[in-house]
Structure 1
């Protein structure tokens, strides 16, 4: 086997923080600043999100993605005036499959999981739960939560999200977008601020969980209430669900560093490009089965069972579907061309 890459392909969560983020945290560390968001860094962060979305959005900084999702959904649920509402999502969504039941336990509400082979909800799928409305024996669909990009690395087009929002609003529902990897989606769909707006505020999304941790932050996320009226009470809800940072300046400084000069889009684009390069290098290797080209920064190849463990011991990655001998390879903002080429060489060598 050749030398293993310096950076593995397990997850963008395994990557370190971008130097600009570290520098921003060090700068924010000077002197004293009032706690709980009454600091200059957080005021700047709030202004940056308004500029980013081109509207007077309300943003709330949080510690992590699960917390951002829970706080966003809890606030939105409060606007529905009753705990009898449910959240509609796909069976692949992070809130359903990877958050240990946090939304259900914390919110005390039901998730209606819709089977979706590509992890995307369509207007027709959403309409399939419409028969629950007005029937006192059923929870009432109140929120639809989508993920962009999805856990399967697929993307909604702006038109698809707009159509879904139109249907949801006609059904009296709120639209939440889980954007843990929103930078990857923005880069893949056009790579500009206008791109972001096209599938969020312009499409009719009401609230966004805006991810930073998977894209160069030490650990910082934000809830962006695109509809400011939906943000009423969000400061209290954030505290209740333990997502109010005391020394918020450090989290806000991370987000400021990423939002400055669109660094967040640049990093998402690089991560996507490395996945595309890896796909190009391994797709023709006998024994590697890949379906669609990667849309963002993840590949889901099928490999011969005997090579998976030794390949993982050489350079770590996660299983995806053990029954299908399918694994997941992910690139990150700091993945290099050399990492990709070394990993591809290892795959080729072990399958030779």
Structure 2
């Protein structure tokens, strides 16, 4: 067995393996010749499934990656002179290496405390509308779930979308972890992105191998297929991307994967809250745990585990569809041992197991 197959890290859900059902779907569509560039029957099936989930007006464009999905989605609804309004913590702003700016979008950011925007903040940024010397706010981009591990509930999303539309803006949802938000809230994917005109639908973080999708709900968005090609996001062998998304969407595998990841984040957060000197700094509403650790603990912990620094003294710990209870418990034991005065107490009560039937069979 390759040694990496024994590892379970907490750096990102991107580090996780592809789900066996996704791999099986890839094998199923392999072999023989089929039309290219999305004209294959599997992409047609994906389009049909997306319409079932998001409405008959939905159009689906499989793409290579999340950054490409965001850029294509924004190109579909953003006039050349417009700006994109987003949270200061949005992935679009902090982690895409200037790709939106490279594509010609100015980002207008709003400060948040937990990654979530408030509808009352939108009017302020719209006050200078029609000033030809300024990029005009034209799109509101929401990250669901947010970069800080929080989720918008359906009412919050609807209120933000309504206010954006009142201002004449379009609404984009960066749904790289839309599945985690929907699973946490106990709703469907469409409800978790209610009011969106265009959605970047994540798959890689939810058990896929490679590939995402752009879902266009705005009937006025024109030429998206041409933009997909021009922005280098049109896979020639589209069937392999579509097969992964089909595997995740059929039978709601996306939900069981997200439930497992979220449950392991809950387990981790509950355990960390019981360690002296450790503080969970944001609500845990998806599969991310942000924690402040005692001085020196993160440096020592990094000898065994991977994770991300997230500001002074704060680390981000991500769980995934294939994170197991023993992975979480091992990390918790290490934190307890490394914390000042900490000695792992094998008699300490274990954190409650996730009880959902979907979680119990997550490796199936």
TM-score w.r.t. length of structure 2: 0.89
- Structure 1 runs, 4 residues or longer, greater than 6 Å off: none
Deviation readout 1:88-115 (Å, 9 max, x if unpaired)? 1111111111001101111x12111111
With CA pairs under 8 Å and 6+ residues apart, which has the higher RCO, 1 or 2?
Answer: 1
Counterpart CA distance in 2 for 1:281 and 1:199 is 28
Contact 1:132 1:141 in 2 (8 A): no
Partner of residue 86 from structure 2, selected from 78, 89, 92: 89
C-alpha distance in 2 between matches for 1:84 and 1:229: 17
Q: Which of these residues, 325, 332, 335, is aligned with residue 320 of structure 2? A: 332
Within a 5 Å distance, the mapping from 1:304-323 to structure 2 comes to: 304-321=294-311
Is the Cα contact below 8 Å between 2:21 and 2:247 reproduced in 1? Answer: yes
**Which position in structure 2 is the counterpart of 1:62?**
63
Q: Is the 8 A contact 1:89 1:144 kept in 2?
A: yes
- Structure 1: give runs of 5+ residues left out of the alignment: none
Contact 1:279–1:293 (Cα < 8 Å) also in 2: no
Residue 285 of structure 2 is aligned to residue 256 of structure 1: no
Q: Give the aligned partner of residue 199 of structure 1.
A: 192
The Cα offsets for residues 228-274 of structure 1, whole Å up to 9 and x where unpaired, read as 332x2000001111100000000000001001100001101110000
CA contact (8 A) 2:150 2:282 kept: no
Residue of structure 2 equivalent to 1:157: 153
> What is the match of residue 100 of structure 2?
103
* Partner SS state of residue 150, structure 1: coil
Verify the 8 A CA contact 2:62 2:212 in the aligned structure 1. yes
| Structure 1 length-normalised TM | 0.92
Quick one: which of 169, 178, 181 aligns to 1:182?
Answer: 178
Is 1:113 aligned to residue 112 of structure 2?
no
Q: 2:276 aligned with 1:283, yes or no?
A: no
Of 124, 127, 136, the match for 1:128 = 124
- Distance across 2 between alignment mates of 1:122 and 1:328: 24
Aligned twin of 1:213: 204
The match for 2:257 is: 267
CA distance in 1, matches of 2:326, 2:219: 45
- 2:197–2:218 CA contact under 8 A, matched in 1: yes
Aligned position for 1:20:
21
User: Aligned residue pairs: how many?
Assistant: 335
Contact 2:149 2:283 in 1 (8 A): no
SS at match of 2:114: coil
Q: Give the Å deviation of 1:293.
A: 4.2
- Does the 8 A contact of 2:9 with 2:305 survive in 1? yes
| Matching residue within 324, 337, 348 for 1:349 | 337
Q: From the two aligned structures, give the one with the greater helix fraction.
A: 1
